[in-house]
Structure 1
Amino acid sequence: MGTYKCCIFFTRRFAPGEASTPEDVRTLFSRFSGGTPYMGVDELRRYLAATGEPDAGGDAEMDAAERIVDRILQGRSRTPRFGKPALTVDDFHSFLFSEELNPPIRQAKVHHNMNAPLSHYFIYTGHNSYLTGNQLSSDCSDAPIIKALQIGVRVIELDMWPNSSKDDIDILHGRTLTAPVSLLKCLTSIKEYAFVASPYPVIITLEDHLTSDLQAKVAKMVLEVFGDILYYPESKHLQEFPSPEALKGRVLLSTKPPKEYLEAKGGTMKDRGTVPKFSKGENEESAWGREVPDIQDELQDANKHQDDLLYRERDVDEDEKKARKNAPLEYKHLITIKAGKPKGSVVDALKSDPDKVRRLSLSEQELAKVAARHGPNIVSFTQRNLLRIYPKGTRFNSSNYNPFLGWVHGAQMVAFNMQGYGRALWLMNGFYKANGGCGYVKKPDFLMQTCPDGKVFDPTADLPVKTTLKVKVYMGDGWQQDFKQTHFDSYSPPDFYVKVGIAGVPSDSTMKKTRVVEDSWVPVWEEQFTFQLTVPEIALVRVEVHEYDVNEDDFGGQTVLPVSELWPGVRTVPLFDHQGFKFKSVKLLMSFEFV
């Protein structure tokens, strides 16, 4: 008997109809169709206008409502209403459950003001962009650089070292077992793929460990590869950074002194035990999700090896500083964004110079320490200057950290290891879906404002609730198309549930979940959750689907959406796999409402 039941499960199909159309969808349909069984183009146009569709006015040759009706009824007999095509309630449901026709993001194109200085934007930033895997022994290649540019990353990091014969430049993670790739190959690939995903500027941050003759070779190589698209200023120092709009289609160089590279690794061991106060910890239910462990117990030998590297690196620190001091003029002239740590404490380094702008880099631990006591200093610095945050050196496996501590302090370049995957990287990729996915997101006004008394935003202050977001999860579909019938359970349909929540500042961060719907490939939950937000400008909606199992739950998809870009109303939310690739068919029907 059990065998026959299994066969019934596998052959069962869920057609749109009474069982699968949520009650809220039926109510919407009835409201805008005037209680009749059909919704014409005019009625659909009124629905779209009520939910904020910008192309619902009917002025175009074929407006949004006409396109939707045409697409939904394409190839089918059309239900007439007063002699015109019209939608049934199931047709209306099909429209709402279409990613192409009814996406969750309000704007699919650039819509922020792109004429402010670079310091006014969060910039999609990679760390050690050439690594294919872990930080100690993976190959170096232009492939991860290409992949990063294809998804819209705007800052690529290259570590430059002399090759074995000291007559050319290799890109590799210095004094590790990583296999090198040539600088020329990396630069050539950057030029080819720089603007496939975004027309806005690409910044190359260089870790420079070269002698002066090789620096001259870099200058020649950079000019030959990039030609006219390489931007560099005529003046020695910039008093203000250019805007993304002014730098469209251009490539910029930025360097930092070798000393910072060594300090970053030296601080790594000293600060290993530091837990940023901002973080909620590694709890599965924490807002930004449990990241890949930092591999402390498992990599004791690697830690010891890293200690040995640190001592050797300190021995050559003076040589590298001397090489930088003697850098050829043609090399220095190409550096648009000058970087480095001024002498003194980190707090001293955060002091702005009214005559010039620069970039400062801090490790995630350094940021946590200075933010605990000097948060407004960081915010003030980032109003004119660029701040780059990079992962601590013990993240040997290329894991990442909570990006919100950097974002809430105005840090433009929150640098991530893009070569892996995990919840933190899901957040990073979701954050940069904003502003048309162009890789530049305008910072909220509160981070750029200075009060008459000279005070700026204090990230540690208790903040009032700005808005309330209601999220409803109706149903899901598509797993039958993207997964094998036996992927989740061998003898029955899956038991799905949804985790939904907010990732943001600690007071906003939370995760909740629906009940488990048993034995259904097309689960219907119809559950609503309410989230109070104090900093909605940088908050993200996290969604994960899991299949309940007695031993360990199976993964069924995820997505991250910027709260600032959510399109209110009932929307289709496509889901992505562990590595961030979109499933062909898996999606949820959800609604978003701001109170």
Structure 2
Amino acid sequence: MGHKEKLDHWIKDLFRKADKNKDGRMNFKEVRDLLKMMNIDMNELHALHLFMMADKSASDTLEDDEFVLFYKMLTDRDDVLQLFRKYSGDGHKLTLCNLEEFLQKEQLETEISRQRILELVNKYEPSETAKSLQAMSIDGFLLYLSSADGLIFNPCQQRIYQDMTQPLCHYFISSSHNTYLLQDQLIGHSSVEGYIRALKRGCRCVELDCWDGSNGEPVVYHGHTFTSKILFKDVIIAVEKYAFTTSKYPVILSIENHCCVEQQRVMAQYLNEILGDKLLNVPLDGKIPDRLPSPQELIGKILIKGKKIGNHSGVAEDSLACEVSDEEEIADNDDEKAQHANSTHHSSKKPKRHLSRQLSDCVVYCKSVPFTSFDNSHLHSKFYEMSSFSESKARKLVRAAGADFVHHNSMFLSRIYPGGLRTDSSNLYPQDMWNVGCQLVALNFQTAGEEMDLNDGLFSQNGCCGYVLKPKFMRSCERRFDPENPQTMEGYQPVSLVIQVLDEEMDHGLSVLLEVQGILMSIL
């Protein structure tokens, strides 16, 4: 079928599914309910007026052909019609010359051949009469604008086009926070579905908050809240099944470990047994590494991010007392609480728990360590060590030492997570963190909004593989880029971009712009 036939067929198919009594007719209430199912927001009085116009049989119901007419009237685009008339000589059609002028002036296409224009007419024009005249009607014009050929997105970037052989720290990595949650962080529902959805969207780093469960089975949930619990085992089964359905590049399991040693051993057992060869628990090729591996080298592998027991004079302890959890206390996100703790001289140190050797051995390239200072990291940190920062702490570092943060992230992985006071699962603004080269900016994928639009925009390029190569000036250890003063960098050349969004819904138009901003971020 052609585009027009596909559209008509889709509308009629939805009509038939919504026709509960199968009489081939629908009244206004049924039509209104169907439109809501189709995510079409409408003014009811306007919709009723169009309903009555489409009801040619005057039966107060619509048959399938009448519903197609009603749908098209309801979704008529005045903005597209105005644009069409701007370039049309007679207001009824676009000649090849008219279409060429539109492509040059509005779409900014530079190399346009007559053959290319004819292909667009033949591909999108539903009218055979218009095709015979080598012209495009308003219907064909709308179909073209709604097609892949009319997208602002560069089709060359819909595949893997970037260098995937550089160290992991040289990439922005699509990352999820509280992946198990489908709602808020207090009473929300936990589900394995959260992991499946995130992985299918190309997410490459998911989070597991692990706690002791009954019958010796560790569970995943938001600790000390009323969120429901799911089995750690079930999460790992889902990860094994869906990790590489969208992207072949490595997945990182960010484990927040609150379990006793016995249940940590169970976790390690499940990781090894369920993930099998997909789990990377030894350095690549069995060699002592001297840098982080690349996404290309880690294709099909699952990495564990967590605490690791170091070697102590050759003594192989079965467990070791250490900080087993990576994220900071909620109080660290609240200046008032932190100040109160200091003024009363209360220790902010968490009690140390034992980390099992078996779980520790699952960690290779993503060893969690506390952050002290950029100077200390530069002098003493190993390339496989990484730190997690709450958004408030990260913001302070950005303001105080943005250039140092960029330099740090050219050598080490950094994970940023939303503050603990975001109990509604709202998101931090990721752009500020990407501007200093932070790779793993963890967002609540279950919460739609500007922040996720930016995230989707950035990671829609490079084949939606979840890895986007950072700009060259963010990968260099020699050059210092200051995000607060970019004009100080050699070769600084600002770019102005003007985009016209054809959309009647302003909220959706904003969403489109935010996705464009995300796409452009790594280019600029």
User: If the length of structure 2 is used for normalisation, what is the TM-score?
Assistant: 0.70
Which residue is 2:249 aligned to? 200
Does residue 1:119 correspond to 2:176, yes or no? no
Does residue 1:426 correspond to 2:426, yes or no? no
Does residue 1:340 correspond to 2:368, yes or no? yes
1:385 deviation in Å? 0.9
1:155 deviation in Å? 0.5
Kindly provide the amino acid, as one letter, of the partner of residue 445 in structure 1. K
1:245 deviation in Å? 1.9
Which residue is 2:34 aligned to? none
* Greater Cα shift, 380-389 or 258-267: 258-267
Describe the shift of the 1:347–1:241 C-alpha distance in structure 2 as closer, same or farther (beyond 3 A): closer
Secondary structure of 1:468's counterpart equals coil
Secondary structure of 1:141's counterpart equals coil
1:22 deviation in Å? 5.5
Secondary structure of 1:79's counterpart equals helix
Does residue 1:561 correspond to 2:488, yes or no? no
Query: After superposition, where does 1:336-415 map in structure 2 within 5 Å?
Result: 336-342=364-370, 345-348=372-375, 350-351=377-378, 353=380, 356-415=383-442
1:106 deviation in Å? 0.8
Does residue 1:470 correspond to 2:502, yes or no? no
Does residue 1:102 correspond to 2:155, yes or no? no
Separation in 2, partners of 1:391, 1:349: 25
CA contact (8 A) 1:201 1:249 kept: yes
Describe the shift of the 1:68–1:236 C-alpha distance in structure 2 as closer, same or farther (beyond 3 A): same
Separation in 2, partners of 1:385, 1:238: 14
* Cα deviation code 1:192-245 (max 9, x no counterpart): 111222222111111122333333322221121111222233369742221112
Describe the shift of the 1:161–1:223 C-alpha distance in structure 2 as closer, same or farther (beyond 3 A): same
Query: After superposition, where does 1:444-455 map in structure 2 within 5 Å?
Result: 444-451=471-478, 455=479
Secondary structure of 2:132's counterpart equals strand
Separation in 1, partners of 2:77, 2:327: 65
Does residue 1:145 correspond to 2:202, yes or no? no
Rg bigger for which structure? 2
Describe the shift of the 1:21–1:180 C-alpha distance in structure 2 as closer, same or farther (beyond 3 A): closer
Kindly provide the amino acid, as one letter, of the partner of residue 191 in structure 1. E
Describe the shift of the 1:559–1:151 C-alpha distance in structure 2 as closer, same or farther (beyond 3 A): farther
Kindly provide the amino acid, as one letter, of the partner of residue 252 in structure 2. I
Which residue is 2:181 aligned to? 131
Which structure dedicates a bigger proportion of its chain to helix? 2
CA contact (8 A) 1:208 1:258 kept: no
1:264 alignment partner, one of 324, 329, 334? 329
Which residue is 1:71 aligned to? 123
CA contact (8 A) 2:174 2:466 kept: yes
Gaps of 5+ in 2: 1-43, 54-71, 308-321, 340-345
Separation in 2, partners of 1:378, 1:245: 26
Which residue is 1:537 aligned to? none
CA contact (8 A) 2:410 2:474 kept: yes
1:417 deviation in Å? 1.6
1:273 deviation in Å? 9.5
Gaps of 5+ in 1: 31-35, 275-310, 477-495, 500-541, 545-556, 567-593
Q: Give the share of equivalent positions with the same residue, in percent.
A: 24
1:150 deviation in Å? 1.6
2:228 alignment partner, one of 167, 179, 185? 179
Separation in 2, partners of 1:170, 1:154: 22
Query: After superposition, where does 1:476-555 map in structure 2 within 5 Å?
Result: 476=504, 498=506, 543-544=509-510
1:359 deviation in Å? 1.4
Kindly provide the amino acid, as one letter, of the partner of residue 482 in structure 2. D
CA contact (8 A) 2:185 2:222 kept: yes
* Cα deviation code 1:162-213 (max 9, x no counterpart): 2134x22111222323222111100011111112222221111111223333
Separation in 2, partners of 1:354, 1:220: 29
Describe the shift of the 1:47–1:458 C-alpha distance in structure 2 as closer, same or farther (beyond 3 A): closer
2:207 alignment partner, one of 157, 160, 178? 157
Kindly provide the amino acid, as one letter, of the partner of residue 145 in structure 2. F
Which residue is 2:301 aligned to? 250
Describe the shift of the 1:270–1:346 C-alpha distance in structure 2 as closer, same or farther (beyond 3 A): farther
Describe the shift of the 1:462–1:242 C-alpha distance in structure 2 as closer, same or farther (beyond 3 A): closer
Secondary structure of 2:509's counterpart equals strand
CA contact (8 A) 1:339 1:359 kept: yes
1:561 deviation in Å? 2.0
State the structure with bigger RCO (CA 8 A, min sep 6), 1 or 2. Answer: 1
CA contact (8 A) 2:406 2:436 kept: yes
Kindly provide the amino acid, as one letter, of the partner of residue 449 in structure 1. S
Aligned-pair RMSD on alpha carbons?
4.1
Secondary structure of 1:252's counterpart equals strand
* Greater Cα shift, 378-387 or 3-12: 3-12
Secondary structure of 1:119's counterpart equals helix
Describe the shift of the 1:123–1:16 C-alpha distance in structure 2 as closer, same or farther (beyond 3 A): closer
* Cα deviation code 1:540-594 (max 9, x no counterpart): xx833xxxxxxxxxxxx7663234757xxxxxxxxxxxxxxxxxxxxxxxxxxx9
Separation in 1, partners of 2:78, 2:230: 57
1:272 deviation in Å? 6.5
Kindly provide the amino acid, as one letter, of the partner of residue 150 in structure 2. N
CA contact (8 A) 1:38 1:89 kept: no
Describe the shift of the 1:273–1:96 C-alpha distance in structure 2 as closer, same or farther (beyond 3 A): farther
Separation in 1, partners of 2:47, 2:196: 46
Kindly provide the amino acid, as one letter, of the partner of residue 97 in structure 1. L
Describe the shift of the 1:237–1:417 C-alpha distance in structure 2 as closer, same or farther (beyond 3 A): farther
Separation in 2, partners of 1:5, 1:426: 31
Separation in 1, partners of 2:77, 2:258: 67
Separation in 1, partners of 2:278, 2:331: 37
Kindly provide the amino acid, as one letter, of the partner of residue 200 in structure 2. Q
CA contact (8 A) 1:117 1:243 kept: yes
Separation in 2, partners of 1:142, 1:362: 26
Which structure dedicates a bigger proportion of its chain to strand? 1
1:447 deviation in Å? 1.1
Which residue is 1:488 aligned to? none
1:18 deviation in Å? 12
